[in-house]
Amino acid sequence: MHSAQDHPTPREEALGRIAGSLVVSCQALPGEPLFGAGIMARMAVAALQGGASGVRVNGPEDIAAVRAAVPVPVIGLWKRGDTGVYITPTLADARTVAAAGADIVALDATDRPRPDGLTLTETITALHADGVPVIADVSTFDEGIAARAAGADAVATTLSGYTTEDPPPPGPDFALLTALAARLDVPVIAEGRISTPQEAARALSLGAHAVVVGGAITRPTAITERFAAALRSVGNPLAEETPA
């Protein structure tokens, strides 16, 4: 006879449910046209209809609205500030995210000091005691190794290129993804600057457990800017042909 411990909880099953698939990051910040929990819930429904197997959502209000709108796994986080450790920076923030309905909590797992003074290991241990799985957002290979040692249930390449003063490089960090996938015994999630279906497919072929895409799908202002910039780069051929 199996004990209750032999069967994974719904939260523990969430990582398995996104295996080999697309997770869409449905996020909008204050001041952006799509900001608002109701709008993000609709965005999540649209992502699900398009074939996503999970969503990544920022903030307790948005998480609660999305959780009520879709049945797929919700990866929750809470961006607090915009410098240093700001993705779910404290244990209290992580618990709030879980209470709002997130199946999995994503948090900054870089080697920078955490605002509440806890270590990454202490934070993850406390969340595991609550029955909450953790995705560790890292920026380097060493941070990924350390995050796994701290108990992370999965590691994501989310913060690669975003922890220094230099602007992030173009394109996904496939090298980091490949290295982590080859070394770690937990799922590695590809996230960060994935802008085309081809890049997403490549990430999966390189060993990603799942692929998170955000801006290329859910940020129409940024998408429009890319198209507009491309047109500006070639000028206006019709204007050049117009007689003086």
User: Considering the chain, what percentage of its residues have pLDDT values greater than 90?
Assistant: 87
Quote the tokens at residue 28: 């909008």
Q: Taking Cα atoms as reference points, which of 160, 218, 170 lies closest to residue 190?
A: 160
d(CA 18, CA 217) in angstroms, rounded, equals 18
| pLDDT for 126 beyond 80 | yes
Could you identify the residue written with the tokens 């799908």?
217
Backbone angles phi, psi at 210, to 5 degrees: -155, 165
| pLDDT for 12 beyond 90 | no
Helix (H, G, I), strand (E, B) or coil at 59: coil
Does residue 128 belong to any structural domain of this protein? Answer: yes
Q: Taking Cα atoms as reference points, which of 40, 45, 86 lies closest to residue 64?
A: 40
Average pLDDT over residues 189-210: 98
pLDDT of residue 242: 54
**CA-CA-CA-CA torsion sign (85, 196, 48, 41):** positive
Other beta carbons less than 10 A from residue 122's beta carbon: 15
Domain hosting residue 48, numbered range:
13-231
Does residue 225 belong to any structural domain of this protein? Answer: yes
pLDDT of residue 6: 60
Average pLDDT over residues 113-134: 97
Average pLDDT over residues 52-67: 98
Does residue 4 belong to any structural domain of this protein? Answer: no
Average pLDDT over residues 150-169: 95
Does residue 83 belong to any structural domain of this protein? Answer: yes
pLDDT of residue 83: 83
Does residue 8 belong to any structural domain of this protein? Answer: no
For residue 223, give the amino acid letter: I
74 touches 101 (CB < 8 A): yes
Average pLDDT over residues 120-124: 98
Does residue 173 belong to any structural domain of this protein? Answer: yes
Q: What's the pLDDT band for 136 if we cut at 50, 70, 90?
A: very high
Does residue 237 belong to any structural domain of this protein? Answer: no
Domain count along the chain: 1
| pLDDT for 165 beyond 90 | no
Q: Over the stretch 90-102, which tens digit does the pLDDT of each residue have?
A: 999 999 999 999 9
d(CA 29, CA 87) in angstroms, rounded, equals 13
The larger pLDDT score, comparing residue 53 to residue 81, is at: 53
Q: What is the mean pLDDT of the chain?
A: 93
The CATH number of residue 99's host domain is 3.20.20.70
Q: What's the pLDDT band for 1 if we cut at 50, 70, 90?
A: very low
Q: What's the pLDDT band for 2 if we cut at 50, 70, 90?
A: very low
236 touches 214 (CB < 8 A): no
d(CA 207, CA 180) in angstroms, rounded, equals 9
d(CA 74, CA 187) in angstroms, rounded, equals 16
pLDDT of residue 3: 43
pLDDT of residue 236: 76
Average pLDDT over residues 146-166: 96
pLDDT of residue 8: 76
Average pLDDT over residues 110-117: 96
Alpha helices (H) along 19-162: 37-49, 60-69, 91-100, 120-129, 141-149
Does residue 29 belong to any structural domain of this protein? Answer: yes
pLDDT of residue 243: 57
Q: How far is CA 209 from CA 9, 130, 155, 191, 203, in A?
A: 19, 24, 10, 11, 9
